[in-house]
Amino acid sequence: MSVVLITGAATGIGNHTAKALAVDGHTVYASMRDPWGRDAEHAEEAIAFAEREYVDLRVIALDVTSQESADKAVQAILDATGRLDVVVHNAGHLAIGYVEAFPVEDVGHLIDINALGAHRVNRAALPHMREMRSGVLLYVGSTIGVTTPPFLGPYVVAKAAFDALAVVTSYETHPFGIETSIVMPGVIVRGTQHFPDAAQATDHEVTAAYAELDPLVARNEEATMGLFPPGVVSGPEGVAREISRVLALPFGHKPFRTVVDDTESGVDKVNETAQLAREDFVTRMGYSELLVPAQH
């Protein structure tokens, strides 16, 4: 069994994944920004779950916008267990509004959370994984980089950066026997605080200039729900099950990408075509060995 760190595990996908992996028998560190303060209720619930189910689920503080916090969390795990086998990059934040109405600083902050946050955690965890010449970086991405729905612009940009980070990092970690998987959920409409906690555009003057589009924004939730087949309402449980499945696969058999999407958006087909093109391009450059993790 593995020692697993999950970012953004207070609620939603991260919370369900932490519980699922703990039940699988892993030692799981469910990280939250402030487990003894604003996230105390979620931390207490996770600890109670561990006691009730007799699983090894632990809570740890980690703010992905701070390198010091990431370093401290990873070191605490290493001090306690002597190893870190898996990092599940799940922390993220949604934003809703007209792109122009988000000041550059707000867009930058969203990229900081969604993409640079994963990079900070990688910088904390990879020295150990490289030394061990093993490990798994699992990124909870999104189909949104392909589907690019309207009125979520800065979030789409941030998740696209997150996805690209996962790909380019994999070239340099594969030679050290470190595997990469990108799990791409579709729309999740229940069981998460993603939408209720979403950031809003802060330039109200610009927002007002787009007022004629407000009716389109107002029916965004209805339009999103209309993507699902009758009787289907996606929650985070399916993503947690897929992460559990991927991590259970033997070395060299984990998919680089996998999609969990009840809206049948066709993203898996796009992924297949893009993957073939990328593999061909990198192979023709003479770097085919960087496409798969090395066995040590």
**Catalytic machinery residues:** 155
Looking only at Cα atoms, what is the longest distance across the chain? 59
Per-residue burial over 28-57, b = 16 or more CB atoms within 10 Å of its CB, e = otherwise: bbbbbbebeeebeebbebbeebbeeeebbb
Question: Amino acid identity, residue 125?
Answer: A
Question: Amino acid identity, residue 201?
Answer: A
Structure tokens at 171: 């070239």
The closest alpha carbon to 176, from 211, 218, 125, belongs to 125
CA–CA distance, 20 with 152 (Å, rounded to integer): 30
Structure tokens at 29: 């560190």
CA–CA distance, 234 with 155 (Å, rounded to integer): 20
